[in-house]
Structure 1
């Protein structure tokens, strides 16, 4: 059969371009050429033509009229058959078509191979009969690999997100450590470098682990893509291409096991306890201490104020005269004192009995009639922290909220540097820094702010000794 195909191919080859003819045409002499080749020959013979519209056959030199060219449909059909046969693989031993598929050996065989001893007793089926079934199995394999690829892509996105979160977390922690040391830079320079170096080493180690995980997932993702391309190419090919080695291909695809990267903790271990390093921050803060009393004109009707204006208790509904400055939604009250410049410090006694309260400073023009708790954040003119239930600790009322950790908290110092745009909180029992809000640009007067829930209370600690503000806090 191979020799027959070879003979047909020779007959269907154009003597001009030496390729299988494209759009074959037959001349009056009976010879055939590609249509494009005939026109090319005609152009080259322009100077030798006996008359316009007449040309010579390149094989026998007989003349023919260009208009007499007719498509050679039979030859075109033969050429298409030759191309189709060339795409089909033949049995290397017998030169016959591979019509059968041996289920036992997982290979294509011809009718002659069927009679050979090595296939005796084997399950033999027509390749065309089982092709669709195996194609469906291959497509299922593609689906499974696509799911793994999708998981890989999600893992890559997750790891990149973790990387970003980790870098941001390290950045914020670095800023916190730096701000802790700014007040006592000259005394704590060596300690600061020590903690930053440890943080950098921790950052590098975790980033390296995250990068290794990302590289591992990327490698698996590429391997999955290569397998998917291989299977898709196999599905799009001929029956013989699809069936050849199909069982081995399926086995390889289902053996793919996606290795998930190790979960990396993003908890920081480099924590700077500067309270052990401060010589006595309390003395420095008290240089700027002011006396704060509560403004009854701003107090919500559920709040009870003491006669001296230094204590507020929640959960005591009362009838109070209407005031444009009174809080009607949030159970809050402001301090009389307003800050428009300079540095100011006051203390809040949260005590053991206060279960849930919020305090700090706010702009004088904050909304009084909104009960949206999410409004209590710097974007809306509030710089405050929340004392939660005992087991939940503290929160800085940023957005989103920032969890803070204090083992013991009774008296909190609030420090405001108006020109610098800073609001800081200190644990006055230990003399340690709690939290400083990111730098702001104050454009309105600031007033002490207190929000007290039912069954909670707050007290304003009176200054020990009110003194003139001395040199700036360094």
Structure 2
């Protein structure tokens, strides 16, 4: 027969990390960890759907976060056999414990029936000492002057006291159960908040490849905070579990007294009542579940903006390409859309005649900023970006990368889009008053930034040749 320590270690190895029970129909994943089939399917959001071995959908292990594919799940028959053997072993141990308890109870009952000193039946109860005594004990010097009564007469009063003690302990047990449920809710809420914050941090760093090391550090700090608070929550949960077991044991003792004979009930009844009254449910201060780890990503953009400024140039607009309704400024740095067409009769082959566009030429790898303003053109909107020099200028063309356009658009008061096809809504919280455009044909990207805050807005695959 295995020792209790060995059984405990075996149970720990065979316990599902998700439901914390012995695994039912254990399944193993590619990283080596195992879980109940139902728990793993629920974690994967598959409910009771059958497994498809060829499915390549990827998930993360609940313990080590290692990736695994849905089709890699395999039943662990050896672990299942071990769990079945462990259950049989525990049942045998429980049966042995029950037999030992029954033998002890029988021995106690035999001892309770007769006075050990006088070998007389214990038919009296001494109120002063709270003990069962025989008629010879009553006449002895030890109990002289004590208040005594028949067991049958003393029983009802103590029966009520025991039942009242059980009622109070039941209330404490309910409170303990409520606190355990609250603690479990806190743990779940904490894990959800950590997961949400983790996703937010990862999303903030998604387009900042140069800041990946900082992302990892913030995530490590967040993980450390998670484990610290989770450890405190689990310590409290374990303490509540211990108090729950103590309450259950005390209740069971009192209920057994109430259900047994009067002699058995009154044997050391005052001690039992005293022990029950000493049971207390410790009130624990509620832990704060506010995540302390903060990551202000915009502050990390300062280095990025410095690098962008190193490639910044001043773009001079080309009036020869301007649509007739567009009016360039004298310094050819600004453009407005006027009511009176300019150069309507100009036959220049470079001029846009359908789309209201104007070009400014730039090298293959440069960065420039465009002041889009706050009120001008707010209802009309604007397009800012780059295009190939060879784009159509005399026919209406859908602006998209396939047609040679890489641009962002304000198409309403607060609706920003990247001009992909179909369009990509940007969902910007703050409108960019100054937009930054970085074009790098060697790398093959066109990126847009909020030049005020340094935040990244969108990145296109870049043009295949010099663009305007």
Say which one has the larger Rg.
1
Q: Provide TM-score, normalisation by structure 1.
A: 0.45
Q: Provide TM-score, normalisation by structure 2.
A: 0.46
